Amino acid sequence: MAIDSHCHLADAAFEGDLAAVASRAHEAGVTDAVCILSSDTEEEFARVDAVRAAWPGVVFATAIHPHRAGEYAGRVADAVRVVREAVTRVSALLLGEMGLDYHYAFAPRDLQREVFAAQIALAVELDLPVAIHTREATDDTIAVLREAGAGRVRGVLHCFTGTAEDARAALDLGFYLSIPGIVTFPKAGALREVVAGLPADRLLVETDAPYLAPVPHRGKRNEPAFVVETIRQVAAARGETFDDLSRQVRSNLQDFLGASRVDTSVKAVV
């Protein structure tokens, strides 16, 4: 068994062969997946039924990505409304991905921070965990999580490739760290060292499919089945077996989503 804590199954890249992608994942033992939806991208929502049909039990997350924050200059309240509606539409169990990306900086930094902080406040209000995208922006990301989260935000840093210090800052906030296929790259020795020292109960693994395919699939379209390569590499770095690590990350994902799952069932009854 295995999990993919972060993938974009509603991306156009999977439109033609979603059922085959899902069945390869199941054959590889990938039982659980979190599908990330961009709250203001209607094409992705149009594919939600197809994703559900291909992968029953898939969990949805939705938010506004930092790349899209530029759309909300002077109207951050609209961003919050859009995310709130998107969460309801798909019964999302978490808000994501949201955060800060100073590498591409498609939107001005201050606006990225504003849109991010507003979504963190929404997550606290809805009592849902968050999936955070942060690139070349660790300090500001942690600062927003501290201020807007006010000690009440739970979540995961997705695609974690940071230093031991970055990891410590996130762990101190009670966050999980999700390790991507990058950990399989020959030059990722430093990341493998960091991963070796992380607490077992805060580890998740992900593909970020269709992006970032692990070795030996590098350069191809990524898909959830390939998460087994990441688990293999993380297990080797930590001196654990593939099966033990697979079980551990699955149980971590259940714990991570646990509170929101219970919450959803309560809402369904009401």
Binding footprint of Zn ion on the chain (CB under 5 A):
97, 133, 208
Q: Please identify, using beta-carbon distances, which residue of 11 and 229 lies nearer to Zn ion.
A: 11
Q: Minimum CB separation from Zn ion for residue 262, in Å? A: 26
Distance CA 258, CA 120 (A): 19
Of the candidates 81, 82, 118, 74, the one whose C-alpha atom is nearest the C-alpha of residue 99 is 118
Q: Please identify, using beta-carbon distances, which residue of 134 and 246 lies nearer to Zn ion.
A: 134
Q: Please identify, using beta-carbon distances, which residue of 64 and 235 lies nearer to Zn ion.
A: 64
Q: Minimum CB separation from Zn ion for residue 158, in Å? A: 6
Q: Minimum CB separation from Zn ion for residue 206, in Å? A: 8
Spell out the residues 6+ positions from residue 43 whose beta carbon is closer than 8 angstroms to its own: 12
Q: Minimum CB separation from Zn ion for residue 23, in Å? A: 22
Q: Please identify, using beta-carbon distances, which residue of 98 and 153 lies nearer to Zn ion.
A: 98
Q: Please identify, using beta-carbon distances, which residue of 62 and 252 lies nearer to Zn ion.
A: 62
Other CB atoms within 10 A of residue 77 CB: 10
Q: Minimum CB separation from Zn ion for residue 74, in Å? A: 25
Which structure tokens are listed for 118? Answer: 């507003």
Q: Please identify, using beta-carbon distances, which residue of 97 and 229 lies nearer to Zn ion.
A: 97
3-class secondary structure, 224: helix
Q: Please identify, using beta-carbon distances, which residue of 4 and 97 lies nearer to Zn ion.
A: 97
Distance CA 21, CA 1 (A): 16
Q: Minimum CB separation from Zn ion for residue 266, in Å? A: 29
Closest CB to Zn ion: residue number? 133
Of the candidates 102, 120, 114, 38, the one whose C-alpha atom is nearest the C-alpha of residue 73 is 114
CB 120 within 8 A of CB 87: no
List, in sequence order, every beta strand (DSSP E) within the chain: 2-7, 30-38, 59-63, 95-101, 130-135, 155-157, 176-179, 203-205
Torsion sign (Cα): 215, 217, 218, 223: negative
Q: Minimum CB separation from Zn ion for residue 101, in Å? A: 8
Pairing, β 2-7 against β 30-38 = parallel
